[in-house]
Amino acid sequence: MNRLFYLVQAARQAALAAEAPASNEAAADVVKTLHETILKKEGGDGYLRQARVALGWTERLARLTLSQKPDAPGLTWATLQAATAARALAANEELDYPGVVVNAFLDPKTIRALDPNKELIDAKFALEAAKKPGETFDLELTVWDFYRHPIKGTVSPRLPTGWKAVPESVPFSAEPGQFQCFIFTVTVPTDVKGGVQTVGGRTTYQGREISEIHAQRIRVTP
């Protein structure tokens, strides 16, 4: 995912050149086309691991964009930026074998302001939220089934030592090509020191622990 940084930079330049969608609905159309492009390349033989992560963020940005009325230029810009990066990944990535994948997302309300003058999406396609000791935030975990048979198990947040989540874990049951989504409320310890901590999710399948594709960041500010 490191080269995603350069893809994002290219997308940012395109956006600054006024190539961003003109409306919230236009941004949604961009994401719909991107989704169809990825599905077409995947076919029935595998999945695009990195492109799927990028697509997940792009779809979340698009949903947030559509929720804003009137049109939100900053959000449409961010959606195009994410879509451009995801499209480039899909074009160059080789298919991976089907399997179980855990994705971790932060609640959009906790993400730093969507300002076109800031770097919103970094080399790991992660967004950062700022929290103080004792505060809480929502961590969304999705479990995708890329096998050709149903899968069952439990999924739980992967947190720094001393951090607590409610619930601690939940069972999942996903059909082939489908996913399940769960929201966990995470509490930052009152005695935690300042700095950046990573959070994610994990499950166990066929005796092997599987963690999120990439972690999300919480910047603790005392």
Contact, 186 vs 136, CB < 8 A? yes
Rg (CA), the chain: 18
Contact, 177 vs 204, CB < 8 A? no
Above 90 in pLDDT, residue 17? Answer: no
Residue with tokens 């004792």: 134
Q: Which domains does the chain have, with CATH numbers?
A: 4-92 (no CATH), 100-220 (2.60.40.10)
Averaged pLDDT, 72-76: 77
Contact, 221 vs 194, CB < 8 A? yes
| β-strand partners of 126 | none
Bigger pLDDT: 211 vs 96: 211
pLDDT value of residue 132: 92
Above 50 in pLDDT, residue 124? Answer: no
pLDDT value of residue 16: 46
d(CA 120, CA 115): 8
Above 80 in pLDDT, residue 210? Answer: yes
Averaged pLDDT, 5-27: 56
pLDDT value of residue 69: 74
H helix or E strand, kind and range, residue 102: strand 100-106
Look at 7-11, 42-46, 74-78 and tell me which has the smallest mean pLDDT. 7-11
Above 80 in pLDDT, residue 11? Answer: no
pLDDT value of residue 45: 54
pLDDT tens per residue across span 102-118:
888 876 555 544 444 44
Averaged pLDDT, 200-205: 88
Averaged pLDDT, 64-88: 82
pLDDT tens per residue across span 132-165:
999 999 998 988 887 778 889 999 999 999 999 9
pLDDT value of residue 97: 54
Contact, 79 vs 31, CB < 8 A? yes
β-bridge pairing 151-158 and 170-174: antiparallel
H helix or E strand, kind and range, residue 77: helix 73-92
Helix 24-42 × helix 73-92 angle, to 10°: 10
pLDDT value of residue 154: 92
